[in-house]
Chain A
């Protein structure tokens, strides 16, 4: 204690010295600088690699996307007012790119009512580069982290609650287009709400954030991140639940049920009637005609 007191006292004596302010300033800068170096994710070399990534993304963009979206992602209008070959990507963010390119919807093979999900043409690294480039055009939603849409961190009871809450949110906001079973539904003029079963949670989260194609945008003010997570948890729970009632017949509701009632029910039973009528009473084993 005495030593500390003496040191403090000695320092204290210089606290009003002409160089004291400068020394404290230097000390502060040194400490904060080293702390920043230790903890900051944006290190000098990572900064450089991000710039590289954006440059690489731009290169890919010019080859695969610019035909429709423009050389700077500004979009290309057609001569008809309000119509465009490709929309502007400024402000759509990395999440939109990750969704569209990650599910194979972009690049589009041909113009049509809607870009269908198809084989993915870019690898993860290239998708990240494209996302980084589009994100650099203007601020937009970033690619979500797994912790955003996973319920793994919750307790058993919390998980159950999240799933049943997610089911109700799903029925209120999603089934009108995507169907009660997530089997998809029709939209005007050849468009459609795609099937949701088996789609990765990340892409559902990104679709909610960015509202691709015909889909409305469910901002965080509309559906909070927790509510988005619960919807994904509900859809995931359907995958884990066995189909209690047998074959789902496409999970499309009464239309497919009616089809099967006629094909299997009426078809099978009329067949049975034909069979019974062709096997009529006889006293000998040989077939007779009645």
Chain B
């Protein structure tokens, strides 16, 4: 293709209608774009994607917080690598912080202190990096909750859900390796705990520990190894998976809330350029700004107060960062005596259950949620319209039960701080959570499901009887009643834009010849689960019910007919009568 045949976009024609159009002088930016496009051919690729439409809702921007805080992590992380020295070589600190001068420590601790006190802007960068890590994982979790509560993980997005779960796991590991690098008293305690967890693994434990530490704990190798994992291995995986996550997002197109004009086949919203480019770009600066303010104003991990790691020391308030708090909480509440001795070897259930069994199990359960749901429901259709949490009561309740479990384990991880801040006994808190961690999720499940079903009933009431106007009328025989008015057509559409739930039933155990149907046992289980999931749900009204309700509502509409303004309530009382002298207020 020759360049002649193409439109030269660097020149824009000007005309004042009466004169012939003349080509303006090419702008430098336009010429540059043409030059680049001739060589890279980006215009064709961009033409479509820059106009890609995204729906607009605040909850669709939660994942964006994670993305932008990851960018802040990359920027501040690069700054820190310029001065951080990941070495366990022993030095005597001679820097600016008085209280530690003359104290022996590893080079990684000394360089962390150097970044904090002697590198210009270093402390701000360290604190921003750490706060950004906390926000990164926190925003991944609220994004995960949004996706789960709205059913956005249904087909075709199950694999993107799995990628998201792996991102959460990798983010947690990345956070832990970063937390361990300064080699201060707190992080050393954390690494020591990790060593204990490895060693609690039956048979392979001590081999794994020796492999990781290059010999007996702590050795000389752990910091350089964690460093390369922290700055190369996991960030590389994170970047690749974030790219895959977003490519799948573009490929699947974003989900949207149901509403007039929104179907499973379209996306209603604004184009990438200029609307979302501006919104997302602006949001990046807000994320950066909030993290910069946090880094500038709020202390995080003051390593100079912890001092260098020394296995003989420990401090009260030794906790992991918040995202590792819940396994720590499980570890804190499990009875300490749960151990089995087999042939002289101790199996430490008290470490294995809270650290090596439950957290990986929870992650697997999380990843399987969309697959379990689609197996139970038998729903293999694509879904691009979101569900309101109330319209999937069982799913919503399962998520709230999982959150309750997480929250209680999380609280147990801070039991000492809760004890001193609320003047409570740490023993009583522990006993309470030991029971609540089993009872709480069940209670939360039941309350949430009933709550959702009540909200479904409320929606049906709005559809059939209209909304509550707040206008109270009194009938002639003295009865008070609240007047309901029909909701708008678009609201009614939005409320009814959902499928009816179909309980799966097994056709028959045996066929005509008396041969058992294949998979009948699993099919029976599936039918049972499907019934458990759907049987209490309230279905949307049928067409006949709606029509009858509309007929009823016509009477209400008549009362409004002839008015050029919406009802304010006085149409239904005797106020108008009061203004006329001829008519008495009441006939007595």
With A and B bound together, what is the CA distance between A241 and B100 in angstroms? 13
B185 in contact with A269 (CB, 8 Å): no
Shortest CB-to-CB span from B328 to chain A, Å, is 10
Task: Check: A164 CB closer than 8 A to any chain B CB.
Answer: yes
With A and B bound together, what is the CA distance between A133 and B272 in angstroms? 83
Shortest CB-to-CB span from B133 to chain A, Å, is 9
Interface-located stretch among B23-31, B135-143, B443-451: B135-143
A181 in contact with B305 (CB, 8 Å): yes
With A and B bound together, what is the CA distance between A241 and B64 in angstroms? 39
B287 in contact with A269 (CB, 8 Å): yes
Interface-located stretch among A17-25, A122-130, A205-213, A271-279: A271-279
Residues of B within 8 A of A244 (CB): 116-117, 123, 302, 304
Shortest CB-to-CB span from A159 to chain B, Å, is 10
Residues of B within 8 A of A192 (CB): 419-420
Residues of B within 8 A of A253 (CB): 186, 315, 317-319, 417
A180 in contact with B305 (CB, 8 Å): yes
B116 in contact with A281 (CB, 8 Å): no
Task: Check: B300 CB closer than 8 A to any chain A CB.
Answer: yes
From 172 to 209 in chain B, residues with beta carbon under 8 angstroms from any chain A beta carbon are: 185-186
Residues of A within 8 A of B269 (CB): 290
Interface-located stretch among B163-171, B242-250, B423-431, B503-511: B423-431
B135 in contact with A273 (CB, 8 Å): no
Interface residues contributed by chain A, number (CB under 8 Å): 64
Task: Choose from A187, A237, A257 the contact partner of B322 (Cβ within 8 Å).
Answer: A257
Residues of A within 8 A of B79 (CB): none
Interface-located stretch among B37-45, B306-314, B335-343: B306-314
Residues of B within 8 A of A241 (CB): 98-99
Task: Check: B501 CB closer than 8 A to any chain A CB.
Answer: no
From 155 to 169 in chain B, residues with beta carbon under 8 angstroms from any chain A beta carbon are: none
Residues of A within 8 A of B123 (CB): 244-245
Residues of A within 8 A of B298 (CB): 245-247, 249, 260, 264
Interface string of A19-56 (1 = CB under 8 A from B): 00000000000000000000000000000000000000
Residues of A within 8 A of B116 (CB): 244-245
Answer whether A167 and B300 are a contact pair too, CB < 8 Å, given A113-B425, A254-B320, A280-B270. Answer: no
B299 in contact with A246 (CB, 8 Å): yes
Residues of B within 8 A of A261 (CB): 131, 134-135, 138, 294, 322
With A and B bound together, what is the CA distance between A244 and B97 in angstroms? 10
With A and B bound together, what is the CA distance between A231 and B436 in angstroms? 42
With A and B bound together, what is the CA distance between A255 and B315 in angstroms? 14
Interface string of B399-442 (1 = CB under 8 A from A): 00000000000000111110110011111100000000000000
Task: Choose from A243, A255, A264, A276 the contact partner of B317 (Cβ within 8 Å).
Answer: A255
Task: Check: B544 CB closer than 8 A to any chain A CB.
Answer: no
Task: Check: A265 CB closer than 8 A to any chain B CB.
Answer: yes
B314 in contact with A176 (CB, 8 Å): yes
Shortest CB-to-CB span from B556 to chain A, Å, is 26
From 58 to 106 in chain B, residues with beta carbon under 8 angstroms from any chain A beta carbon are: 58-62, 64-65, 98-103
Residues of A within 8 A of B99 (CB): 163-164, 167, 234, 237-238, 241
Shortest CB-to-CB span from B412 to chain A, Å, is 11
Residues of A within 8 A of B64 (CB): 273
From 139 to 190 in chain A, residues with beta carbon under 8 angstroms from any chain B beta carbon are: 160-161, 163-164, 167-168, 171-172, 175-181, 183-190
B300 in contact with A273 (CB, 8 Å): no
B315 in contact with A276 (CB, 8 Å): no
With A and B bound together, what is the CA distance between A163 and B100 in angstroms? 9
Shortest CB-to-CB span from B539 to chain A, Å, is 29
A280 in contact with B56 (CB, 8 Å): yes
With A and B bound together, what is the CA distance between A178 and B318 in angstroms? 12
Task: Check: B283 CB closer than 8 A to any chain A CB.
Answer: yes
From 274 to 326 in chain B, residues with beta carbon under 8 angstroms from any chain A beta carbon are: 275, 279, 282-283, 286-287, 290-291, 294, 296-302, 304-307, 310, 312-322, 325
B321 in contact with A273 (CB, 8 Å): no
A277 in contact with B57 (CB, 8 Å): yes
Most buried by B among A179, A185, A265: A265
Task: Check: A270 CB closer than 8 A to any chain B CB.
Answer: yes
Residues of A within 8 A of B186 (CB): 180, 253-254
With A and B bound together, what is the CA distance between A241 and B98 in angstroms? 9
Task: Choose from A243, A264, A272, A278 the contact partner of B283 (Cβ within 8 Å).
Answer: A272
Task: Check: B127 CB closer than 8 A to any chain A CB.
Answer: yes
Shortest CB-to-CB span from A9 to chain B, Å, is 67
Task: Check: A258 CB closer than 8 A to any chain B CB.
Answer: yes
Task: Check: A248 CB closer than 8 A to any chain B CB.
Answer: yes
B419 in contact with A186 (CB, 8 Å): yes
A168 in contact with B279 (CB, 8 Å): no
Shortest CB-to-CB span from B297 to chain A, Å, is 4
Residues of A within 8 A of B283 (CB): 272-273, 276
**In this complex, what residue of B is CB-closest to A254?**
B319
Residues of A within 8 A of B56 (CB): 277, 280, 290
Q: A246-B296, A246-B297, A280-B270 are in contact. List 13 more A-B contacts (CB 8 A).
A: A185-B317, A188-B427, A189-B425, A249-B298, A251-B302, A253-B315, A258-B134, A260-B298, A261-B294, A266-B135, A272-B287, A273-B61, A280-B275
13 A-B pairs whose Cβ atoms sit less than 8 Å apart in the complex: A164-B100, A180-B185, A188-B426, A190-B419, A192-B419, A246-B296, A253-B186, A254-B321, A256-B417, A258-B134, A260-B298, A261-B294, A266-B138
Residues of A at the B interface (CB closer than 8 Å) are 113, 160-161, 163-164, 167-168, 171-172, 175-181, 183-190, 192-193, 234, 237-238, 241, 243-249, 251-262, 264-266, 268-270, 272-274, 276-278, 280-281, 290
